[in-house]
Amino acid sequence: MKVLIPSPLRSYTRKPEVEAVGGTLSELLNDLDRQFPGIRFRMIDEQNQVRSHIRIFVNGEQVFDMARPLHPADAVDIVQALSGG
């Protein structure tokens, strides 16, 4: 499935959109990490939770559950929050 990658994580992928596979969100992120070592740790913490500055959307719906089932036609968008003043 297509995964949109935010600018701060493109140093891993070298492109804004990549293909990955997985039956769940966790499996998809593991596949991304297999292809682009280190990227998962930038999104997921040691407790297997999405980091506070990352948002993951599946078909436009924000997802928090790593066990969320995915289908090959799903679109996954990873968004990194911006901060500043």
Q: How far apart are CA 35 and CA 31, in angstroms?
A: 6
pLDDT of amino acid 81: 81
- Predicted confidence (pLDDT) at residue 82 exceeds the cutoff of 80: no
Whether 83 shows a pLDDT value over 70: the answer reads no
| Domains of the chain from N-terminus onward | 2-80 (3.10.20.30)
% of the chain beyond a pLDDT of 70: 96
- Cα(59)–Cα(22) distance, integer angstroms: 15
Is 80 within 8 Å of 56 (Cβ atoms)?
no
pLDDT surpassing 70 at residue 50 = yes
| pLDDT tens digits, 2-28 | 999 999 999 999 999 999 999 999 999
- Whether the per-residue pLDDT at 77 is higher than 90: the answer is yes
